[in-house]
Structure 1
Amino acid sequence: MLTFILRRLGAIVLVLLVASFIVYTLTAITADPLADLRESSAANREELIANRIELLRLDLPPVVRYFAWLGGASKCLILQCDLGIAFSRSNQEVTAALASAANATIQLVTASVIVAILFGLTIGILTALRQYSGFDYSVTFLTFIVYSLPIFWIAVLLKEFGAIRFNEFLADPVVTIQAVVITGLIWGVLLMAIIGGSWKKRLITFGAAFVAAGGLLALLGATGWFTAPSIGIVGVIITGVGAAVGVTALSTGLANRRTLYSALIVVGIWAALYFPIQYLFFYVPTGWMLFVMAIVAIGIGIGVGMLVGGDGRKEAARTAAIVSFITFFVIVVDRVMLVYPDYVDRIPQSGVIATIGSRTPGLEGDMWFQILDGFAHLVLPTIALALVSIAAYTRYSRSSLLEVMNQDYVRTARAKGLTERTVIMRHSMRNALIPIATIIAFDIGALIGGAVITETIFAWKGMGALFVDGLRDGDVNLVMGFFVVTGILAVIFNLIADLLYSALDPRIRVS
């Protein structure tokens, strides 16, 4: 393993050197960093041109300038990066510009990739299991439509219906009878199509989903939940129990009582800690506190699973750790919701769901205000990027799972009498994820450097905007800073994908 990683890192360094030389040389030859000064009518124009030539060493050939730039970039190995000056940004250091842009883009990409993977793989698995059904045909039709739509059109639709219309509703949250009926119908038809079965089973599913979804929406509207949203300890317990049952059903099956008990015990622990944790949230609101508590949450799950799991303690620990993290995350979301009424009073009148920027300028408040504000700005661009990826992941995961399920070893597993859950989750899905791992790795690299249109529409000052500004102004250092970040991340994610192959399929060895 170590030999493989070192060999790949050596190849990565060589690829980055060659690619950086080509990108720098082509950009330096085609760019004109003095264009704005030549068109200037300033009295000291010649002096400004001379200063920029000296600052950027434009009197030297592009090849010589590249090696001078490479000398500063090589200092990144000792954490003292010197990527030059971005003259197009008032002579700001490129590292400072990258830090701000990369932070915004990483937030956007991380959120969109997580959403796309969760929903895309889930929908793809469901369509594969319901092959050639009405649900499968409907999802296939919708995914092709979404995948073919241009991203700027999706962004415009989201601005209109996801922000403007929804903000109008949040300003006066009145739940009508029509909304209750339509919500119940949508969920009833959706769950009926997913679960399938006989018509009697489908009608029962439709009725239960219609009553549950419509009744929940009516209850939220009647209690004024949209004005002052919260989850509360009851909601945390209900969500935690649901997570315990769902994760256990997928991981080991509900027949494994020790695993189920481990997950439920973890939910009970967090329910008991709900009110003491509010003290920490109120007096110690820091990001490091949340990070440490997340690690503790995973540790609690592992500890409970090891104690209660018995012979299957490994599976119990894994399941309990996932349920513990989910329950803790719900508690954090509940705390963020508590600042919603004050947040609405402080933001401009444009609405809760923001359409431009990554932050509200001049917003003052503690960490919970900043988290809520970040989410309000993140939701629309995240959905815009995730929708296209969800459509792609759905098709890839469906075709990959169908191909694996027709293999001989899957038929052998069924012939042994294994449950369908075991056949799908342990035998089929693991191998079906191998090509998906490669696609996700490439997708992350593309999103980090290529979310230019989305960032432009939502005025999100990330890596895409930085790259466009560098090309437009002829700022070679800014373009190369973009290349360094995106290039390194792209090759790293490809390396991670290679390592995932051996984790997903024991027959594959990285050596």
Structure 2
Amino acid sequence: MASFIVRRLIASIFVLFAATYLMYILTAYSGDPLEDLKQSNSPNKQALIDARIKLLDLDIPPFLRYFLWLGRLFQGNFGISVQNQPVNALLQNAITSTLTLVTIATVLAIILGLIVGIVSALRQYSGFDYSVTLVAFLFFSLPIFWVAVLLKQYGAIQINDWLDDPVIPLPALLLISVVAGLLWMSIIGGSWKRRLIVLGVSAVATGAVLGVLSATRWFADPSIGIVVLAILAIGLAFGITAIVAGLKNRRALYAALATAVLGIALYYPAVSFFLNGIELPLFLGLAVLTVLVSGAIGFAFGGADRGPVIRSAIFTGVLVAGLIALDKYMSYWAAYANSSRVRGRPIATVGAQTPGLGGNFWVQGIDLYTHLILPTIAIILISFASYTRYSRASLLEVLNQDYIRTARAKGLTQRTVIVRHAFRNALIPITTIIAFDVGAIVGGAVVTETVFGWTGMGRLFVDGLRVADLNPVMAFFVVTGALAVLFNLIADLLYAALDPRIKVS
């Protein structure tokens, strides 16, 4: 494997050299970085032009100047921009902003796409399958800038207006309840009697929950509370165990329940003491501690087959800890929304943060999330379609294989056939799509960042092209190219991990 990685890296380096050289030459001849100075009426115009020529080595032909840029790149220096700013500093701010946006959006799009695609494959030719297909292709065909404008209007402006008096009207309540009932009915399937029962129960449950939340004005000052947390934690323990190990695996179920009970017991100490005055390093440390403690509980209950037991405990522990953190965030929602900087308009339409907001770790976190909501949804809606369709097609292809029919003939449960046999092999083509999309999403966030006012990689690239500023454009190209190469290498290694028949040699 080591020799394979070395060979791929060497080949990738030569590809990057050729690509960067071509990009450098094309960008250099696409515009004049002295254009603004030549049109200036400044009395020392010639002196400014001479200074910029010297600063950017513009007196050297581009096909030779590239090697000067390459030499600085080997030293970790991306050069100076037209405005005499270090590109390294510009790149650091831009890549932090873009990766914050792209990472969250990509992870959510992958998770939602896989879940919906799998359910769609298992309910092939059902109403749910047809509805998902329609929605997926609809989102895939929509231009991102138009989606962004719609999100600003209906996802921010009107939602902010509604939050002034967060009461759900009766017609909207009934519509949401019916849609939820139809959704669960199509997912669960079965006979028509079973479907009608699911429709009625889920519609009534949704309407009752939303009615209580509306009557108590929960959306103005949200919280989870110990009772709801306990119900959700126990439900997560059963649900995760059913998916990961099966409810017949009592060790996994007991480990998940023990982890959930521990999370419930730690709710008040965490909310009252552990999470007060917290900062990001301590928050990340508690997250790692959650994984370790949950894994230890799973190991203690494990027995002979510890893998599924440990995974059940870890997933349960992480989700329960996430609910506790979410409750802490919610406790600061009213203070954030009514602050002098936000002024009752918490869903932001532009920028990555509220200027001059201040506040503690939780207030800053809410501010980040409210600025992330709209651009994240925009990217998810575009990426969701491809992940859903590929995961559906891949799983359907695997389910028709001989070894799946053999597994079912042996009497294995549907969960075991899907999770342990089909899903793993269905991930192979999806891994390829994800590897290609990561670099494309980083580079393709140009429109999203422009519409929502994020000063990220896309903004750096567009601003550089507009004034023929070579160094920022090349910094963008090197980062996106390196990411594409890296994730394609990771995809090759994952092939061998997912399918033992594939040898990396």
Whether TM-score is above 0.5 comes out as yes
Residue equivalent to 2:416: 422
- Residue aligned with 1:311, SS: coil
The CA distance in 2 between the partners of 1:428 and 1:154, in whole Å, is: 35
| Deviation sequence 1:40-70 (CA, Å, 0-9, x none) | 1111111110000010011112132211111
Pairwise CA distance, 1:350: 6.9
- Residue aligned with 2:19, SS: helix
Residue equivalent to 2:114: 121
1:251 aligns with 2:247: no
Question: Which range moved further: 270-279 or 112-121?
Answer: 270-279
- Residue aligned with 2:305, SS: helix
Residue equivalent to 1:21: 21
Q: How do 1:371-410 residues align onto structure 2 when only pairs under 5 Å count?
A: 371-410=365-404
The CA distance in 1 between the partners of 2:228 and 2:437, in whole Å, is: 35
The CA distance in 2 between the partners of 1:70 and 1:243, in whole Å, is: 53
Residue equivalent to 1:280: 274
Question: Which range moved further: 26-35 or 123-132?
Answer: 26-35
TM-score (norm 2): 0.97
The question of whether the paired residues in 2 share the 8 Å contact of 1:180 and 1:215 is answered with no
Residue equivalent to 2:229: 236
The CA distance in 2 between the partners of 1:475 and 1:129, in whole Å, is: 52
1:45 aligns with 2:45: yes
The CA distance in 2 between the partners of 1:509 and 1:323, in whole Å, is: 34
Residue equivalent to 1:65: 65
**Residue number among 427, 437, 440 corresponding to 1:433 in the alignment:** 427
**Residue number among 59, 68, 79 corresponding to 1:84 in the alignment:** 79
The CA distance in 2 between the partners of 1:503 and 1:20, in whole Å, is: 32
Residue equivalent to 1:178: 171
Pairwise CA distance, 1:164: 1.2
The CA distance in 2 between the partners of 1:417 and 1:192, in whole Å, is: 27
- Residue aligned with 2:443, SS: helix
Pairwise CA distance, 1:86: 1.2
Question: Gaps spanning 5+ residues in structure 1: where?
Answer: 76-80
**Residue number among 455, 464, 468 corresponding to 2:458 in the alignment:** 464
The CA distance in 1 between the partners of 2:125 and 2:175, in whole Å, is: 27
1:7 aligns with 2:15: no
Residue equivalent to 1:298: 291
The CA distance in 1 between the partners of 2:355 and 2:344, in whole Å, is: 13
Distance 1:20 1:344, change over 3 A: same
Residue equivalent to 1:140: 133
Aligned-residue CA RMSD (Å): 1.2
**Residue number among 262, 269, 279 corresponding to 2:262 in the alignment:** 269
The CA distance in 1 between the partners of 2:231 and 2:446, in whole Å, is: 41
The CA distance in 1 between the partners of 2:201 and 2:213, in whole Å, is: 18
Q: Which amino acid aligns with 1:377?
A: H
TM-score (norm 1): 0.96
The CA distance in 1 between the partners of 2:439 and 2:9, in whole Å, is: 17
Q: Which amino acid aligns with 2:424?
A: R
- Number of aligned positions between the proteins: 503
The CA distance in 2 between the partners of 1:24 and 1:496, in whole Å, is: 27
Pairwise CA distance, 1:31: 2.7
**Residue number among 350, 366, 370 corresponding to 2:360 in the alignment:** 366
Pairwise CA distance, 1:276: 2.2
The question of whether the paired residues in 1 share the 8 Å contact of 2:336 and 2:342 is answered with no
The CA distance in 1 between the partners of 2:363 and 2:226, in whole Å, is: 21
The CA distance in 2 between the partners of 1:12 and 1:244, in whole Å, is: 45
**Residue number among 433, 440, 451 corresponding to 2:445 in the alignment:** 451
Question: Gaps spanning 5+ residues in structure 2: where?
Answer: none
**Post-superposition, which runs of at least 4 consecutive aligned residues in structure 1 deviate over 4 A?**
none
Q: How do 1:348-363 residues align onto structure 2 when only pairs under 5 Å count?
A: 348-349=342-343, 351-363=345-357
The CA distance in 2 between the partners of 1:236 and 1:497, in whole Å, is: 38
- Residue aligned with 2:276, SS: helix
The CA distance in 2 between the partners of 1:378 and 1:409, in whole Å, is: 44
The question of whether the paired residues in 2 share the 8 Å contact of 1:248 and 1:319 is answered with yes
Residue equivalent to 2:188: 195
The CA distance in 2 between the partners of 1:137 and 1:129, in whole Å, is: 12
The CA distance in 1 between the partners of 2:68 and 2:103, in whole Å, is: 34
